[in-house]
Structures are given as structure tokens and as C-alpha cells.
């Protein structure tokens, strides 16, 4: 039964509240540090009327161009059956591109963009929580020694809370962030009342004048302006958690107006008191409200980190399903939203990396240099992949798609160039993280291809095998045996070894392949393909989307609806267990070989990953040289 209009409205409101709590925490806490960093002494800008108006104009039109138009209007149309994020975008871009060179370029862009997103996922919690903790220094400079311990404690608690799941996190954080955005609006309105004329700064003329007057310093300041856009990629990556409409509605109706009011209020305060530039956000508040505001901003920055953390979980699962990183355990945290998952290994990695970053840089100003590069790099890659999707999927003309690319990519590249200059000051960190993860993903993919090639080389033709056992029958024993194998291999290696060493076959043999399609979800009626091979041999292909957690036992429970009765409690599952050893003629170079073998040994066990009943699973081992 389809939901009624009333039930849709009812479900939309809680999703909007949860989306505010998870999706917009990152961009919602940007007012804490954006204006302060634009007027950082390293840029040499004077907080006079023209410069302040120019900064506000650049922030406003950046929000309009990048978040409103590019992400909310265009990129979020590139949903892969409801799922967002750079891996989903890459899968869409690859769908109609069959030339190897084109696929290689698209894959390289997508994987490096995903790697940069992880860098963003490490920097966002660090800079957000540090910015809030530094508010203590505004209230009482003597509290400076406690800033770092407070940040470390808050971040540790945040990552420990992740196992509760996005749904519970969003339900708890949503009301807190609604209060936060209301406070942004009230503080901004308080400052704006002192100088209502600041609204004139929304005129794009002041943005152009900013560059004409400040020239090189104005261009460099773009590296700080982009801090107002942090969270744009997370907004897209978290689309699978909440859907497109709640994200679009909350941005246009609630989030953007609050942000704009606050930036205008900060501008009015700076023009009234230029000394306020040291921390204009907290100085907007009356003295009596400073400590409560610090507490609220700390909570808000914890929530800000949630957008990129939940986005990292989603992208990791997509990468596993698309076979770019090793199998690992995922936990579904919602019965109603399939996109909400928790990845324990990723959570642990992010926690260690974030704490290391905080202890290394020790201030939000130092981290600001590292932050922009990860954000702008990912946004530029999103634009490039969206251009391909516009041509292939949306069927735009080359002219229209080219205009899309020219407008948005020029903005992205301007931000990227302004941040590239700060590589030595901290921009090296996301580059290092991105390069490291990119190497891991490409090495895993190349190693998997080499492993399949070696297994295929030692395999035999399925057609020939069936002819052989028909000509020289092998004793058959009662029961059903299911052999898992890759479709790229002619025969399951475990089946060949079972016949060779045990000289028997089960009465019914099923060759089972698990396929991950380039769509997020595969419906139950499309889950199985069953092919009768003769001699009581069957080939079953199980299809999952790249956001679904494979459950082989559950999928095979649907076999009767496809015309094949299976008694699963009396069925054995046979899996090959390859032990990799270095080869004299390796398919990978020496360092890639060592990395791949290490990753392969530490991958999640296929029995657990595919949810195969452990009491019905049999592993047959073999040595493989790669």
C-alpha cells in the first residue's frame, strides 16, 4: 500500500530535523572561524568598509553558486537511485563510458576525490571542535591550557558515540542544531541592528572591488572564504541517509538564512569595532551569554563532525562493494533507512587520525591552511564527474554541459589555486592522506585483478568439466553443495580440489556468484538469476546494490520464488581460502605486492561478510603466487 500524503508529510518533518542535526553541522559551524581567518594577519587585509563588504559579498555568492546552485540544484540530481557521494557519482559517470582510457580517468578522479573526502573527514572534527574550545580564551585568557585537553576529550566522546547509529545521533543532535541555527540568527540580527546598511554587501560589485583593491592578497584570501563552504560534499554524501528533499528544504528555509544573518552581523560588529576581528563570532554575544554560547558551540561542532563521519561510513561501504578496498564489517543502525551504517574500523581510523592532527597542529588557525585544500579538491572533482553525468545520463547538449562545467569548475579551481599556495603550511596533510588512500585503493584493485587472473589460469572450462564427469561419472553423495566463486573464473577452485582429493560430488551442485551492480539497491524480485547447467548443476548469481550489505543466506531464501527449492539448513557452503605468497614474476611491483598481501590477509572473512551460516561453511585452502 502506498503511503498517504499525510504520512509522507509526517515522515518528512522528522527527516528534516535529523538532517539538520547530521548534514548541516559542518557548514553550520563555519561562522565560528571564517571571518576570523579571512582577516588573519597573514593575508594583510585591513578591516575597513570596502574589505569587509567584499568579504561578505564573496561569502554570500560562494554559498549561492557552490551550495545552492551546484549541489542543491544540480549535483543532487545525480543520485544513483537515491544514493549520493563521490563513489555513487563515479559509478554513474562510468555507466556509459566503455573505453578503457576514459574509464581510467574517471576512476582515478573518483578514487582521489574519495581519498580527499577522508582527509576532510579527519580535518573537520579537529578544526570545528578546536574553534569552539578556543572560545574559552575569549571568556578568560587564563583558560588557554585547557583548550587542547577539552578538544581531545570531546572528540573521543564523539567517536565512541558513533556506534549508536546515524538515526539516534541525528534524533539527538537535530534539536540541538535547531537551537544553534536560531542562535546564529539572533546573534546576527543583534549585530545587524547596529549597522543595517551592511546588507548592501550582498551586491556582487563589492566582491569584484575586493579583488581590484587587494589584488594578490585578495586572491589569497579566497583560501579562507572557502571555509564558509565546508560540508558541501558531506551534504551530497549524506543524501542516502535522509533523501534529497529534506536536505534541500532545510537548506533553503532554515540553514542558509541563519548563516547569512550571522555573517552580516559579524561584518557590522567588525566595522563598529575593528579589534573584534580576533574572534567576531563570540564577541557578537553579550557578556552574560558568552559561557552558554561556548557550551552550545562545542555541542554544535561535535555535531558538525557528524556529517563527514557518516559520509565516510557511506563512502567506505560503497568502495567495499565496488571492490576498491578490502571487505570489512558494517553494522546497520536503522530499520527504516538502509543507507545508515556504522563502520567500526573506519571509526577507529578516524579517531586516531583526528587526535593525532589536533595534537600536532594545536590551533584552528594552523588547521585552516590544511582544511581548504581537501574541500576544494573534492568539489572540483565533483564538478568534473557531474559534467560527464550531465552528458550521459541527463542527456544535456555539449554546449549546455560545457557551460555548467565552465562556470562551476572555474569557481572550484579559483578556490583550489588559492589553497594550493598553502601546501607547505598545512595543505600537505590532506594531500598526504589522499595520496596514501589512493595508493591503497588502486593497489587493492590491481591486486584483485592479478589474483583473479592467476586463479583463472589454473582453472578449467566449466563446459569441459561437465563433459568429463558425464563421460567418467564421479560418485554423487546426497545433499546440496554451494560453491562460491567469482564470475570472472570459469570454475570454483574449491570444487576442483574437492573432486580431485575426495573423488566425490554432491547430488546437487550450485555455483554461486555474488555481483555488486552499479546501482545502490537491487529489489528482491531482481535479486537472483538461476541457470540450469544440466547434470543437476546450477549457476546462481546473487545481485546486490553497492550500498547494500550482502546476505547470501537471506538471498538464497528467495530461491523458491525463482523456481528452485533449497533446504538451506542441510546445505553446505564451500569457499576457497587463498593464501598469497610472493612470486618470482609478480604481477605487481615489490611494494604493491607487499601492501596487497597485507591487505588481503587482514580483510574480513568472506563467511562473515556474506552472512553465510558458520556451521554450514567449509573452507578449502590453496596457495597462490601473485
Model confidence pLDDT, tens digit, residues 186-221: 999 999 998 999 999 999 999 999 989 988 888 888
Same domain, 397 and 473: no
**Which residue among 408, 443, 478 closes a domain?**
443
201 assigned to some structural domain = yes
Residues 6 or more apart in contact with residue 198 via CB below 8 angstroms: 52, 53, 56, 192, 264, 267, 268, 271
Pair (430, 527) in one structural domain: no
- 389 lies in a domain? yes
- Report the pLDDT value the prediction gives residue 599, as an integer from 0 to 100: 87
- Mean per-residue pLDDT over the chain, rounded: 83
Q: Please name which of 554, 489, 488, 541 lies closest in space to residue 510, comparing C-alpha atoms.
A: 541
- For residue 48, is it left (φ>0), alpha (ψ between -120 and 50) or beta? beta
Contact 25, 175 (CB under 8 A): no
Domain boundary pick from 413, 443, 473: 443
Count Cα neighbours of 203 within 13 Å in the Cβ-side half-sphere: 11
Residues 243 and 322 in one domain: yes
The answer to the question of residue 4 being in a domain is no
Distance, CA of 43 to CA of 58 (rounded, Å): 16
Digit-coded pLDDT (tens) for 359-415: 888 877 777 777 777 778 888 999 999 999 999 888 999 999 999 899 999 999 999
Enclosing domain of residue 487: 458-625
pLDDT at 3: 38
CATH classification of the domain holding 209: 1.20.1740.10
What pLDDT is stored for residue 120 in this prediction? 75
What pLDDT does 509 receive?
A: 93
What percentage of the chain exceeds 90 in pLDDT? 22
| Cβ atoms 167, 334 nearer than 8 A | yes
312's enclosing H/E stretch is: helix 290-321
More confident residue, 470 or 5: 470
What does the DSSP 8-state code read for residue 524?
G
Neighbours of 582 (CB within 10 A): 12
Kindly report which listed range (4-18, 84-98, 114-128, 139-153) carries the lowest average pLDDT score. 4-18
Task: Return the number of other C-beta atoms located less than 10 Å from residue 189's C-beta.
Answer: 14
pLDDT at 10: 43
Q: CA 451 to CA 389: how far, in whole Å?
A: 32
Q: How many CB atoms lie within 10 A of CB 197?
A: 11
Is residue 541 assigned to a domain?
yes
Q: What interhelical angle do 364-392 and 204-225 show, nearest 10?
A: 110
Q: Is residue 3 part of a domain?
A: no
Q: Residues of the chain with pLDDT > 70: what percent?
A: 92
Q: Are residues 374 and 264 part of one domain?
A: yes
420, 443, 466: which is the final residue of a domain?
443
**Would you state the pLDDT for residue 4?**
37
Q: Are residues 348 and 462 in the same domain?
A: no
d(CA 113, CA 384): 11
In this prediction the pTM is 0.73
CA dihedral angle for residue 145, residue 147, residue 151, residue 153, rounded to 10 degrees? 50
> What's the mean pLDDT in 168-180?
74
Q: Are residues 438 and 519 in the same domain?
A: no
pLDDT tens track for 33-46: 899 889 888 788 88
Taking residue 225's Cβ as centre, other Cβ atoms within 10 Å add up to: 26
Residue 166, pLDDT above cutoff 70: no
- Residue 220 or 145, more confident: 220
Q: Do 238 and 132 reside in the same domain of the chain?
A: yes
| Bridging pattern class, strands 341-342 and 331-332 | antiparallel
Angle at 315 between CA 358 and CA 18, to 5 degrees: 80
Q: How many domains does the chain have?
A: 2
pLDDT tens per residue across span 4-26: 333 344 477 777 777 777 778 77
Quote the longest CA-to-CA distance of the chain.
Answer: 95
**Within a domain: residue 321?**
yes
- Which range in 260-269, 445-454, 576-585 is most confidently predicted, on average pLDDT? 260-269
Per-residue pLDDT for 594 more than 80? yes
Q: Does a structural domain hold residue 408?
A: yes
H/E run at residue 209: helix 204-225
Q: CA 538 to CA 510: how far, in whole Å? A: 5
Tell me the average pLDDT across 592-604.
Answer: 85
Amino acid at each position: 500500500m502506498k503511503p498517504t500524503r499525510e504520512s509522507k508529510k509526517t515522515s518528512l518533518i522528522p527527516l528534516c530535523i535529523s538532517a539538520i542535526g547530521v548534514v548541516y553541522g559542518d557548514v553550520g559551524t563555519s561562522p565560528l572561524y571564517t571571518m576570523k581567518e579571512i582577516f588573519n594577519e597573514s593575508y594583510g587585509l585591513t578591516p575597513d568598509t570596502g574589505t569587509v563588504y567584499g568579504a561578505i559579498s564573496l561569502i554570500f555568492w560562494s554559498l549561492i553558486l557552490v551550495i545552492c546552485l551546484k549541489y542543491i540544484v544540480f549535483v543532487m540530481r545525480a543520485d544513483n537511485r537515491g544514493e549520493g557521494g563521490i563513489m555513487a557519482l563515479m559509478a554513474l559517470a562510468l555507466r556509459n563510458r566503455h573505453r578503457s582510457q576514459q574509464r581510467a580517468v574517471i576512476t582515478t578522479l573518483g578514487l582521489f576525490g574519495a581519498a580527499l573526502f577522508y582527509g576532510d573527514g579527519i580535518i573537520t572534527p579537529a578544526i570545528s571542535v578546536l574553534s569552539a574550545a578556543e572560545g574559552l580564551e575569549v571568556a578568560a585568557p587564563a583558560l588557554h591550557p585547557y583548550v587542547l585537553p577539552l578538544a581531545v576529550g570531546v572528540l573521543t566522546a564523539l567517536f565512541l558515540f558513533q556506534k549508536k547509529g546515524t538515526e539516534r545521533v541525528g534524533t539527538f543532535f537535530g534539536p540541538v542544531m535547531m537551537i544553534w541555527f536560531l542562535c546564529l540568527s539572533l546573534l546576527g540580527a543583534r549585530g545587524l541592528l547596529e549597522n543595517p546598511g551592511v546588507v548592501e554587501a550582498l551586491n556582487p560589485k563589492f566582491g569584484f572591488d575586493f579583488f581590484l583593491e587587494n589584488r594578490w592578497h585578495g586572491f589569497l584570501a579566497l583560501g579562507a572564504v572557502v571555509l564558509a563552504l565546508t560540508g558541501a560534499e558531506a551534504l551530497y554524501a549524506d543524501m542516502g541517509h535522509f533523501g534529497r528533499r529534506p536536505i534541500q528544504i532545510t537548506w533553503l528555509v532554515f540553514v542558509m538564512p541563519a548563516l547569512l544573518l550571522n555573517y552580516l552581523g559579524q561584518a557590522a560588529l567588525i566595522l563598529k569595532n575593528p579589534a573584534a576581528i580576533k574572534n567576531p563570532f563570540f564577541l557578537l554575544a553579550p557578556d552574560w551569554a558568552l559561557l552558554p554560547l561556548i557550551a552550545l558551540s562545542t555541542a554544535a561542532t561535535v555535531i558538525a563532525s557528524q556529517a563527514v563521519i557518516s559520509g565516510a561510513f557511506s563512502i567506505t561501504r560503497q568502495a567495499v562493494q565496488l571492490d576498491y578496498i578490502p571487505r570489512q564489517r558494517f553494522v546497520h543502525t536503522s530499520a527504516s533507512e538502509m543507507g545508515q551504517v556504522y563502520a567500526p574500523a573506519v571509526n577507529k581510523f578516524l579517531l586516531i587520525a583526528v587526535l593525532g592532527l589536533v595534537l600536532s597542529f594545536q590551533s584552528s588557525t594552523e588547521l585552516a591552511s590544511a582544511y581548504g585544500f581537501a574541500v576544494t579538491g573534492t568539489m572540483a572533482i565533483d564538478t568534473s564527474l557531474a559534467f560527464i553525468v550531465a552528458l550521459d545520463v541527463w542527456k544535456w547538449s555539449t554546449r549546455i554541459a560545457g557551460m555548467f562545467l565552465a562556470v562551476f569548475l572555474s569557481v572550484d579551481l579559483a578556490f583550489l589555486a588559492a589553497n594550493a599556495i598553502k601546501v607547505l603550511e598545512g595543505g600537505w596533510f590532506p594531500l598526504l592522506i589522499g595520496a596514501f588512500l589512493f595508493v591503497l585503493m588502486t593497489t587493492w584493485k590491481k591486486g584483485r585483478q592479478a589474483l583473479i587472473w592467476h586463479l583463472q589460469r589454473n582453472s578449467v572450462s566449466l563446459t569441459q568439466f561437465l563433459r568429463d564427469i558425464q563421460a567418467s561419472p564421479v560418485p554423487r553423495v546426497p545433499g546440496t553443495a554451494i560453491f562460491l566463486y567469482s564470475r570472472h573464473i570459469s570454475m570454483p577452485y574449491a570444487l576442483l580440489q574437492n573432486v580431485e582429493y575426495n573423488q566425490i560430488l554432491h547430488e546437487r551442485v550450485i555455483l554461486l556468484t555474488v555481483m555488486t551492480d552499479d546501482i545502490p539497491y537491487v529489489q528482491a524480485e531482481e535479486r537472483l538469476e538461476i541457470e540450469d547447467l544440466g547434470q543437476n548443476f546450477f549457476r546462481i548469481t546473487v545481485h546486490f546494490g553497492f550500498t547494500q550489505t550482502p546476505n547470501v543466506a537471506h538471498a538464497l531464501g528467495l530461491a523458491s520464488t525463482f523456481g528452485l527449492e533449497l533446504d538451506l539448513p542441510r546445505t553446505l557452503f564451500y569457499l576457497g581460502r587463498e593464501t598469497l605468497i610472493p612470486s618470482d614474476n609478480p604481477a605487481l611491483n615489490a611494494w604493491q605486492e607487499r601492501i596487497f598481501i597485507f591487505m588481503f590477509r587482514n580483510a574480513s572473512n568472506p563467511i562473515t561478510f556474506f552472512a553465510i551460516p558458520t556451521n554450514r561453511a567449509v573452507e578449502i585452502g590453496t596457495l597462490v603466487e601473485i
